[in-house]
C-alpha cells in the first residue's frame, strides 16, 4: 500500500523554528507557564511538586471532570485525554476505518484524517466548501458524499483553513445524512472558543448517538506546547479508544495534565478565551488592511473563527512554489493551499504579537511582489 505523507505537518516542522517570521501557525501566540499561572492567580509550587512519574493514562480525574463539564450530560468515563487532538483523530481513524471503508470529509481541510483514511485502506469522498458561497458546502454535495455505506463523516467546525462556521441548516443536514446511512461522525472542534464575535460555536455533541468530538488546548487556548487534546464519545467507544492509546503515547505528562486542569478551571478558561478573542480582534484588521493594499491580487472571505485566513491569489504559480520562494528569499513561512487540497491559495496565520505580525507581512509583501510580478 502506498503511504500518503502528511505534507503540511512536515512542511511546518521542517521550517517553523528556522525562519525569522512564522505566519504558518493557526493559533494565537502561546502563553508561557508564567503567563498561565498569572492568569490563574496560582503559585508555582504545586507545579514544582508534580512527580515526574507516570500520570493517569486516560487523564487524571480532575482534568477529565473539567473536560466533561464542557459537554452537558457527559461523564468523565466518556473522556480520553490524548497527546494533542492529532492523537485523538489518529485513534478514531484507527478504530473505525478499514480496507474499502468510505469516509466523507469536507474539503479543503487539515488533511490528517484524509491521509489516515487512505493509509488504512479506506476511500475518501469529499464534499467541497465553496469560496463563492463564503465557504459553505453545497447541500447536494453533502448528500452525494455521505452515501449509503459511508462508515465515517469528518467535520471540522469552526473550519481550518478558512475560519468558517457551518450554517445551522448544513449542520442538521450532516447529522441527518449520517443517521440515514448509519455512519459515525467525527467532529473536530479545536477552534471553538476562538470566534471573532465572541459567540461560542455550538458543539455537535448531543446531536447524534454515533458521535465523537475531538478538541484540545492548542488553538483557542494558546497552549500548544502542553500537547493536550481529548476525545468525547459514548462510554464504550471511549474505553476502546483508551485501549488503543496503550499502544501509542500511553498517557499525558503529569506536568501537562496539571497545567491543563488549571487552564480548564471555569474562571481561568474564560480569561484565557477572552485573551484569545482580544488578539483576534486586534490582529485581523492588520492582516485585512495589508491584503487590501494589493487590490485585486488577493481574494478572501473574512474568517469567523481562529487566527487563520484562507486567501486566493491571481497567477499560475503553484502555492507550494510560491511559499517556498518566499521562505527562501524573505525568511517567512506560510502554508500553501496545496497542503489543504486547494490550488492557488495560501493560509495566513495572524496570531503573532502585532509588531512581529506587521514586520512579517511587510517582508511577505516584498516577496509577493517579486514572485507574482
Residues 229-261 have pLDDT tens digits of: 999 999 999 999 999 999 999 999 999 999 999
Q: Yes or no: is domain 33-268 CATH 3.40.640.10?
A: yes
Predicted local distance difference test score (pLDDT) of residue 310 = 98
The backbone torsions φ and ψ at residue 123, rounded to the nearest 5 degrees and listed phi first, read: -120, 130
| SS3 annotation, 254-320 | HHHHHHHHHHCCHHHHHHHHHHHHHHHHHHHHHHHHHHHCCHHHEEECCCCECCEEEEEECCCCCHH
pLDDT in tens, 66-107: 999 999 999 999 999 999 999 999 999 999 999 999 999 999
Portions of the chain given CATH number 3.40.640.10: 33-268
Compute the distance between CA of residue 123 and CA of residue 56 in angstroms, rounded to an integer: 36
Q: How far is CA 288 from CA 118, 143, 219, 264, in A?
A: 37, 35, 21, 32
Residue range(s) of every CATH 3.90.1150.10 domain in the chain: 7-31+270-372
CATH of domain 7-31+270-372: 3.90.1150.10
Report the alpha-carbon distance of residue 190 to residue 213 in Å, rounded: 9
pLDDT higher than threshold 90 for residue 2: no
pLDDT band for position 60 (cuts 50, 70, 90): very high
Rounded distance between C-alpha atoms, residue 163 and residue 310, angstroms: 8
Amino acid at each position: 500500500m502506498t503511504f500518503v505523507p502528511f505534507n503540511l505537518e512536515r512542511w511546518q516542522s521542517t521550517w517553523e523554528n528556522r525562519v525569522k517570521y512564522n505566519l504558518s501557525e493557526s493559533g494565537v501566540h502561546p502563553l508561557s507557564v508564567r503567563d498561565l499561572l498569572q492568569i490563574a492567580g496560582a503559585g508555582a509550587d504545586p507545579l514544582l511538586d508534580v512527580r515526574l512519574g507516570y500520570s493517569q493514562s486516560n487523564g487524571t480525574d480532575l482534568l477529565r471532570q473539567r473536560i466533561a463539564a464542557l459537554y452537558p450530560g457527559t461523564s468523565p468515563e466518556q473522556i480520553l485525554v490524548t497527546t494533542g487532538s492529532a492523537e485523538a483523530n489518529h485513534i478514531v481513524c484507527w478504530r473505525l476505518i478499514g480496507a474499502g471503508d468510505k469516509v466523507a470529509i469536507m474539503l479543503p481541510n487539515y488533511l490528517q484524517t484524509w491521509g489516515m483514511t487512505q493509509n488504512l485502506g479506506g476511500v475518501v469522498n469529499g464534499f467541497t466548501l465553496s469560496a463563492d458561497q463564503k465557504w459553505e458546502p453545497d447541500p447536494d454535495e453533502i448528500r452525494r458524499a455521505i452515501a449509503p455505506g459511508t462508515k465515517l463523516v469528518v467535520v471540522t467546525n469552526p473550519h481550518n483553513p478558512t475560519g468558517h462556521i457551518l450554517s445551522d441548516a448544513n449542520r442538521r443536514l450532516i447529522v441527518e445524512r449520517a443517521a440515514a446511512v448509519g455512519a459515525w461522525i467525527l467532529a473536530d472542534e479545536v477552534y471553538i472558543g476562538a470566534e471573532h464575535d465572541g459567540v461560542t460555536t455550538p458543539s455537535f455533541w448531543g446531536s447524534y448517538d454515533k458521535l465523537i468530538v475531538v478538541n484540545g488546548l492548542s488553538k483557542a487556548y494558546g497552549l500548544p506546547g502542553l500537547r493536550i487534546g481529548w476525545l468525547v464519545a459514548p462510554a464504550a467507544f471511549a474505553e476502546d479508544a483508551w485501549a488503543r492509546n496503550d499502544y501509542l503515547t500511553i498517557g499525558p505528562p503529569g506536568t501537562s495534565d496539571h497545567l491543563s486542569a488549571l487552564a480548564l478551571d471555569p474562571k481561568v478558561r474564560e480569561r484565557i478565551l477572552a485573551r484569545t478573542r482580544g488578539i483576534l480582534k486586534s490582529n485581523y484588521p492588520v492582516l485585512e488592511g495589508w491584503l487590501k493594499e494589493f487590490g485585486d491580487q488577493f481574494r478572501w472571505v473574512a474568517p469567523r473563527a481562529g487566527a487563520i485566513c484562507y486567501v486566493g491569489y491571481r497567477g499560475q504559480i503553484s502555492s507550494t512554489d510560491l511559499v517556498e520562494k518566499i521562505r527562501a528569499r524573505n525568511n517567512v513561512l506560510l502554508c500553501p493551499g496545496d497542503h489543504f487540497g486547494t490550488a492557488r491559495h495560501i493560509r495566513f496565520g495572524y496570531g503573532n504579537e502585532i509588531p512581529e505580525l506587521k514586520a512579517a507581512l511587510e517582508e511577505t509583501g516584498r516577496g509577493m511582489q517579486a514572485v507574482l510580478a
